């Protein structure tokens, strides 16, 4: 078959394919079981394969590279406007075909196996931290119903929970004390698993040159550096630092009409987990770094005086994100002197 473009609508069990020739005419439409897709790709001539960046897309993209195909992964948000009328698998494949041929389309860089493993490690950590937060909130609710108030902070609650489980309280029944004891055991188990993942992330960050350079930036530690490398790799898929900041959702949304631009707040698009980590790192620099003579803390003091502290934190993350892009793409180390006068 004379195929120039292959568009794949990935599904959990069934994939819809559409093959196009050089003129853009549909040569064939086909549905395959997902486990047969790789064998089918191996029998095709070299072509451009486009698909949405969803579950398993990076694995198929790496396989396409091995066969000599040119994989193009796109965000599903960019493909949706090209779907005509009602949605179905065949029209999804045609929409992917049309979107992939647009000259202004942004494509997703294919992640390596190491990046996916590191990303999975962060996903597991995020799930455990969420479970820990839910457990703590539930425990606070139980104690509040019995008139027991615990101070704010995770560590304060953990100490109080362990004390109540060991010593008991007159206002708590035997059943409630037993439940609190089980919560203390479960909380200790989750803390141990989170600490183990953090230890593994730190060891991986120490062994990676890109992560080591990123950790020289104020507010960036092993968790942020490893999460950023897992998400963007070398960062070369972004043309400039502002593109990375926009991908993180750190730039204002805008509505422009009639030549008039209206900014309506931070977009919050992109990777929520990575943006959350960056904001926590920025708050650390804003509140906990005592030496305000270095360039980034000194620069952050300006927005902090003019606006709300949360606005200052987002502004600082925007700057840190652009610096991180420069460190990744240029292979250089963080230079504080470059920020003097910025």
Comparing CA positions, the residue from 130, 138, 193 lying closest to residue 161 is 138
- Domain termination site, one of 207, 233, 262: 207
pLDDT per position as a tens digit, 130-178: 999 999 999 999 888 888 888 888 899 999 888 888 887 777 888 888 8
Whether residues 153 and 65 share a domain: the answer is no
* Choice among 29-43, 84-98, 278-292, 323-337 with the minimum mean pLDDT: 84-98
Q: Does 108 map to a domain?
A: no
Q: Does 107 map to a domain?
A: no
pLDDT per position as a tens digit, 254-281: 888 888 888 888 888 888 899 999 999 9
Q: Does 179 map to a domain?
A: yes
pLDDT at 196 > cutoff 90: yes
CATH number at residue 67: 3.30.420.140
pLDDT at 341 > cutoff 70: no
pLDDT per position as a tens digit, 112-134: 999 999 999 999 999 999 999 99
pLDDT value of residue 340:
56
Radius of gyration of the chain (CA): 25
Whether residues 190 and 128 share a domain: the answer is yes
pLDDT value of residue 199:
96
pLDDT value of residue 117:
94
Burial of 89 (0-12, 13-18, 19+ CB in 10 A): middle
Measured distance CA(180)–CA(159) in Å, rounded: 12
Whether residues 221 and 334 share a domain: the answer is yes
User: In three state form, how does the secondary structure of 190-254 look?
Assistant: HHHHHHHHHHHHHHHHHHCHHHHHHCCCCCCCHHHHHHHHHHHCCCCCCCCHHHHHHHCCCCEEE
233 and 109 Cβ atoms separated by less than 8 Å? yes
Q: Does 105 map to a domain?
A: no
What average pLDDT score do residues 170-189 get? 88
Whether residues 272 and 331 share a domain: the answer is yes
Percent of the chain with pLDDT over 90: 37
Measured distance CA(282)–CA(277) in Å, rounded: 9
Measured distance CA(19)–CA(90) in Å, rounded: 11
Whether residues 135 and 72 share a domain: the answer is no
Whether residues 251 and 315 share a domain: the answer is yes
State the average pLDDT for the chain: 88
Residue numbers of the domain that contains 155: 113-207
**pLDDT grade, residue 342 (50/70/90)?**
low
Domains identified in the chain, total number: 3
Percent of the chain with pLDDT over 70: 98
Q: Which of 21-25, 189-193, 311-315, 337-341 has the highest mean pLDDT?
A: 189-193
* Choice among 30-34, 53-57, 253-257 with the minimum mean pLDDT: 253-257
- Domain termination site, one of 66, 100, 134: 100
What average pLDDT score do residues 200-215 get? 94
């Amino acid at each position: 078959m004379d195929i120039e473009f292959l568009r794949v609508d990935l599904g959990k069990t069934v994939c819809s394919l559409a093959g196009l020739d050089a003129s853009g005419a549909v040569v064939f439409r086909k549905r395959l079981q997902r486990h047969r897709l790789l064998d089918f790709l191996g029998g095709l001539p070299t072509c451009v394969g486009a698909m949405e960046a969803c579950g398993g897309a990076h694995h198929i993209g790496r396989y396409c590279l091995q066969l000599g195909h040119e994989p193009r992964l796109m965000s599903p948000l960019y493909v949706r406007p090209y779907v005509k009328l009602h949605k179905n698998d065949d029209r999804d494949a045609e929409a992917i075909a049309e979107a992939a041929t647009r000259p202004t389309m942004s494509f997703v860089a294919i992640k390596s196996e190491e990046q996916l493993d590191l990303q999975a490690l962060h996903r597991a950590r995020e799930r455990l931290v969420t479970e820990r937060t839910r457990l703590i909130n539930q425990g606070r609710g139980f104690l509040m119903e019995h008139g027991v108030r615990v101070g704010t902070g995770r560590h304060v609650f953990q100490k109080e929970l362990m004390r109540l489980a060991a010593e008991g309280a007159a206002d708590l029944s035997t059943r409630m004390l037993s439940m609190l004891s089980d919560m203390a055991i479960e909380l200790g188990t989750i803390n141990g698993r989170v600490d183990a993942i953090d230890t593994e992330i730190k060891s991986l960050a120490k062994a990676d040159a890109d992560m080591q350079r990123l950790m020289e930036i104020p507010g960036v530690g092993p968790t942020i550096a490893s999460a950023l490398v897992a998400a963007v790799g070398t960062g070369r898929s972004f043309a400039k630092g502002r593109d990375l900041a926009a991908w993180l959702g750190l730039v204002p949304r805008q509505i422009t009409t009639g030549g008039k631009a209206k900014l309506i707040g931070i977009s919050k698009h992109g990777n929520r987990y990575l943006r959350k980590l960056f904001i926590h790192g920025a708050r650390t620099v804003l509140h906990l770094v005592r030496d305000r003579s270095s360039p980034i803390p000194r620069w952050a003091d300006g927005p902090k005086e003019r606006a709300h502290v949360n606005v200052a934190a987002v502004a600082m993350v925007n700057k840190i994100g652009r610096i991180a892009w420069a460190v990744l793409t240029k292979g250089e180390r963080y230079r504080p002197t470059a920020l003097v006068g910025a």
